[in-house]
Amino acid sequence: MDVALVLLLFFPSAISLASLLPTPAVARGSLSPAEIADNPKWEANRHLLESMPEIPVEATHGYMSNVELEQAIKEFSQKCGNISRTYSIGQSVNGFTLWVIEISDKPGIEEAEPAFKFIGNMHGDEPVGRELLLRLANWLCDNFMKDPLATLIVKKAHLHILPTMNPDGFTLKTRGNANNVDLNRDFPDQPETKAVMNWMRKQRFTASASLHGRRATIFLFLFFCLASVGYSDKHTPLCRVYRADTLGRASMASHAEYLVFFCSGALVANYPWDGSRDSRKEYYACPDDKTFRYMANVYSLSHRNMSLSNEFPGGITNGASWYPIYGGMQDWNYIHGGCFELTLEVSDVKWPKADELETLWLFNRMSMLNLVAWTIKTGLHGRIVSSSTRQPLPASVIINGIDYKVNASEEFGDYHRMLAPAQSYEVTASMPGYQSKSTRIILLENEAMNLDFVLDPEELTGQVHLARPYGCHCDPEDKLGRADFFRGLHLQVYLLASLILLLLYALVKRRQILKVFQHRHPRRVAPIP
């Protein structure tokens, strides 16, 4: 028996599940090219292994091919052209176009509304997402002006749907792309990940979700002799069994006695951070942890059975608490895109039979709809303008106690700050060259709040300003709130003072004014007869 195996059998602490997890590749988002060059483990871990079993051909029956998917998108565009448009964000390694469907009552026109994106099929061998997203698009088209939720989403948001991010992997029936790279460990340099990153630089998204087939939980079992154990798929119907040496793990490559069971993944809504600071499996909260947990619950509680998970309380999990990954899309969205993204495990099987897709759609439909509607029905929304020009300002919105900011748009000055409801927040609008303004709000449950800011240029500092210009529990319909009230009050005082000065001036100069008046209008004297 191998000495290493003896050590592992009698000293189980010599190995941990951490050795099976990806080595840190990109620290919560991305590495610079120089850092990548200095970190050979990043390149090794983002490339996948060729020895994983292939998806049987019969399992793919009933799923749309890439050509059929492209045709379905074109047919949808023709059927629902009044509330949609299709556009490309780039191409895959093998040149397949990455098509996006935008659904809105004003598609292609920028509005002061939240934007949401769904991404499917990031992993080529997890095709459920691409099928569900086409069903979602068609459902919205068929139910617009019939169903209140469909109508709300179409009229009050811009929904962008990328059915497949990895069409090459789907064709190859592998997790990675045509370069054998796991796109969810890759941000930032594969054609598909570059396309998504450029997309986010052009389009401002409030929130997002990517749909996956499963994120398998890994269990490690040690056996003295593989041949004598006789384990197989038929003995473990919920698991697939692979010899550890076929997985290419450097620490175990020579030990055929090990078995790694990749069990069917749980249904769960996963939120940031996906990576921990020191690569340990631990809860690693991002600044907006409360908001992300609320967002994940919106999906889980709307799902038919996700919230009933035995493994994950409520059907939600922090990514690093489950197992850390690096170079992932979810963390990159939050850090670099100002976008709140979830990773959704919507099927406990990577490639379920096609006749199960309709059931999966029914189980996930309300979750998908409510997640988009969440960006409309809750959170803090408003505009930021200049007091001197009334022009929109791309200012930052900062919540006291949360180390994160959301920026308003340049065109409309609108912002959409998602927050956990039923809490009090101190909100500040800030921009270089302008005086910051703050107010305290109470965000109610299931009710969005509208809060606009009017910022004064710094050159007006000499004028009288209130230190805290307004503080209100604002009505959603109130546009400029008390900020405009005080601004209007200042204007009234100014006009009244000007009128009083004008009257005083008239009293002092009354004789001169009378002489001028008499000179211009001399009294007419009747002639003597």
Active site residues: 345
State the pairing for strand pair 396-399/423-430: antiparallel
Is residue 348 within 8 A of residue 267, CB to CB? The reply is yes
Can you read off the two tokens belonging to residue 67? 């050509």
Residue length of the chain: 529
Three-state DSSP at 397 gives strand
Would you tell me the crossing angle of helices 289-302 and 357-377 to the nearest 10 degrees?
A: 140
Measured between alpha carbons, how far apart are the two ends of the chain, in Å? 149
With 0-12 CB in 10 A as exposed, 13-18 as middle and 19+ as buried, what is 337? buried
Query: What number of CA atoms fall less than 13 Å from residue 467's CA on the CB side?
Result: 0
Residue 309: which of 297, 324, 321 has the closest Cα?
A: 297
The residue behind tokens 């088209």 is: 141
Distance CA 299, CA 303 (A): 6
Is residue 112 within 8 A of residue 54, CB to CB? The reply is no
Preceding amide of 332 cis, omega within 30: no
Identify the sign of the CA torsion 9, 14, 17, 21.
negative
Residue 31: which of 50, 18, 45, 49 has the closest Cα?
A: 45
Would you tell me the crossing angle of helices 481-508 and 510-520 to the nearest 10 degrees?
A: 70
The residue behind tokens 């991002």 is: 286
Distance CA 478, CA 472 (A): 11
Is residue 92 within 8 A of residue 317, CB to CB? The reply is no
Residue 153: which of 333, 366, 299, 316 has the closest Cα?
A: 366
State the pairing for strand pair 423-430/437-443: antiparallel
Extended strands (E) in 346-422? 380-386, 396-399, 405-407, 414-417
Alpha-carbon distance values, 497 to 19, 485, 488 (Å):
77, 19, 14
Report the 3 state secondary structure along 416-433. Answer: EECCCCCEEEEEEEECCC
Is residue 106 within 8 A of residue 194, CB to CB? The reply is no
